[in-house]
Amino acid sequence: MRMRSENTQPLGLWWVVFSITLGSIIIGVFLPIFLLLAALCTLVIPVLAARDLNHSRSIERELNAFHEEAELEQSREMLLRGLFDAADIPIIATDEGGSLVRSNNRANAVLGIDERMIGRRIDELLTQRVLHELEQLARGGEPGHARASIAIRGEMRDFDISADPVPDFGGAVMTFRDITELSRAVTLKADFAANASHELRTPIASIKGAAETLMGPARDDERMSGRLLEMISSNAVRLELLARDLLDLSKLEADDLPVNVCDINLSELTDSVFAELLTQAERRELRLVTELGDGLGVIRSDPVLLKLMLRNLVSNAIKFAHEGTAVKVVAQIASVPIDRTLGVPDGLEEHHDGVLIRVIDKGVGIPIQHQQRVFERFYQVDQARSGTAAKRGTGLGLAIVKHAARRLGGAVSLESVYQSGTTISIELPRCVVSAPLADAPKPPPVGGE
């Protein structure tokens, strides 16, 4: 705020008049006419003093207003800076020459920007040509957006980048929205449709071919008819398993799936899973073993989901364990951290411990390059390895286990050594009651889920 210089000229004039008055009084002792001048000055002094006082107060008000306006401007700038830094997406700003002038905290963390980079041109920081063109157009007044993959700590991440001009500044502001998970979800959806079509088409084609052969050349060939009927039966079973697994997975991925927590006798639940799979285990001379830690007579969880997880994991272990070995289900009390992004089902007490359940086999194992992908839908480690009638599954079992564990607020992990064996662990929070309960319900029957 500018101060008007002409308002400062009268300041202190009454002191001059006052000095003249004193001089006139002294001289008036010798020359009485000066006493008249002193009297006139005495009348003028209060008027001038009042004027100077009002002027001083006016200047003080202007100075206060100036300081208040400066403080308000500073607080606005601090607020804008706070909002800028609080944004959960990376934001950077450039000046009219394309040099970086500001970046928020998220941009510093994600894009690796630090203070030394302020003032450097944007094309020195980001190597993608499309981003240079996007920023340049925004500086010229034309907003736009593009998608680009940027290496973040050794991993390629997909971003949707918007660039907008900054009015009255000549620069541009760019925002980076991470869409990596969305891109992966779209890819998984497309892969799921393709894989599901393939998995359905294969047994249907086999059934159709066998039926056509039965109605044609093999109509009177009893030996061939028997083989074709067996082929039809095995592929019908495969279609049934695929439909069941797809239904289980779709239920688990639905947000409105209810989780029914109750007391479960873990030993009886494990025994019921073993009873369903005993024939498969005996066919390969495998032993099914349960090892429960102290205090695990009863846990609180959803019996349908827990049995679904154990059945899939034990079934997988039976398929790929070396013949004559043991498949173990080992459970123990453990401290399981809460994943706040998942939530915990109602009915679980905060002070209760968690449980760690491991399904262990001594089998062919999983090569390390495949271990991060085995929980994806339809992913199979080795088509040749899993292509036999005895071992081939739907490729959905571990995806079902992962989603079931998440519905219970837990997580699933894998440890495997190729040609030595695999351990898959399920961690469930807040499910161990303080003391065993005598009247825990029986596990759900086969097909009860």
- Tell me how crowded residue 53 is: count the other CB atoms within 10 A of its CB: 11
> For residue 7, what pLDDT is reported?
44
Report d(CA 300, CA 260) in Å as an integer.
Answer: 10
Report d(CA 404, CA 309) in Å as an integer.
Answer: 7
Report d(CA 414, CA 426) in Å as an integer.
Answer: 9
Q: Taking a C-beta distance cutoff of 8 angstroms, is the pair 344, 352 a contact? A: no
Q: Taking a C-beta distance cutoff of 8 angstroms, is the pair 191, 380 a contact? A: no
> For residue 326, what pLDDT is reported?
96
Residues facing residue 160 across a β-bridge: 147, 177
8 dihedral zone (left: phi>0; alpha: psi -120 to 50; beta): alpha
Q: How confident is the model at residue 430 (pLDDT cuts 50, 70, 90)?
A: confident
> For residue 365, what pLDDT is reported?
92
Query: How many degrees, rounded to 5, is the angle at CA 199 between CA 185 and CA 194?
Result: 35
> For residue 162, what pLDDT is reported?
92
Of the candidates 151, 171, 167, the residue with the CA atom closest to the CA atom of residue 159: 151
Of residues 345 and 183, more confidently modeled = 183
Looking at the predicted structure, is the pLDDT value of residue 194 above 90?
Answer: no
Q: Which of 133-137, 170-174, 217-221 is the least confident region? A: 217-221
Instruction: Write 194-200 long-range contacts (CB < 8 A, 24+).
Output: 195/377, 195/378, 195/395, 196/246, 196/378, 199/242, 199/378, 199/394, 199/395, 200/239, 200/242
> For residue 259, what pLDDT is reported?
85
Residues facing residue 425 across a β-bridge: 358, 413
**What pLDDT digit, counting tens, does each position of 350-401 carry?**
767 889 999 999 999 999 888 888 888 777 775 444 444 445 566 788 988 9
List, in order, residues 6 or more apart from 233 with CB less than 8 Å away: none
Mean pLDDT of 326-333: 95
pTM of model > 0.85: no
List, in order, residues 6 or more apart from 422 with CB less than 8 Å away: 317, 320, 360, 361, 363, 365, 366, 414, 415, 416
> For residue 10, what pLDDT is reported?
46
Helix (H, G, I), strand (E, B) or coil at 122: helix
- Tell me the backbone φ, ψ of residue 275, rounded to 5 degrees: -65, -40
Of residues 366 and 23, more confidently modeled = 366
Mean pLDDT of 273-291: 94
Looking at the predicted structure, is the pLDDT value of residue 151 above 80?
Answer: yes
**What pLDDT digit, counting tens, does each position of 209-267 carry?**
888 888 888 778 888 888 888 889 988 888 887 888 788 877 777 766 788 888 899 99
> For residue 23, what pLDDT is reported?
72
Q: Which of 57-71, 140-154, 275-289 has the highest mean pLDDT?
A: 275-289
> For residue 201, what pLDDT is reported?
83
Mean pLDDT of 309-316: 94
Catalogue the E-assigned strands of 222-379.
262-265, 287-292, 298-301, 326-334, 353-361
Report d(CA 46, CA 51) in Å as an integer.
Answer: 8
Q: How confident is the model at residue 425 (pLDDT cuts 50, 70, 90)?
A: very high
User: Amino acid letter at 37?
Assistant: L
Q: Taking a C-beta distance cutoff of 8 angstroms, is the pair 272, 423 a contact? A: no
Q: How confident is the model at residue 318 (pLDDT cuts 50, 70, 90)?
A: very high
Q: Which of 94-108, 273-287, 411-425 is the least confident region? A: 94-108
Task: Kindly state the helix (H) or strand (E) to which residue 147 belongs, with its residue range.
Answer: strand 144-152
List, in order, residues 6 or more apart from 55 with CB less than 8 Å away: 7, 10, 11
Mean of per-residue pLDDT scores for the chain: 81
Helix (H, G, I), strand (E, B) or coil at 331: strand
Report d(CA 105, CA 113) in Å as an integer.
Answer: 9
> For residue 163, what pLDDT is reported?
92
Mean pLDDT of 183-196: 74
Of residues 271 and 394, more confidently modeled = 271
Longest Cα–Cα distance in the chain: 159
Mean pLDDT of 111-128: 84
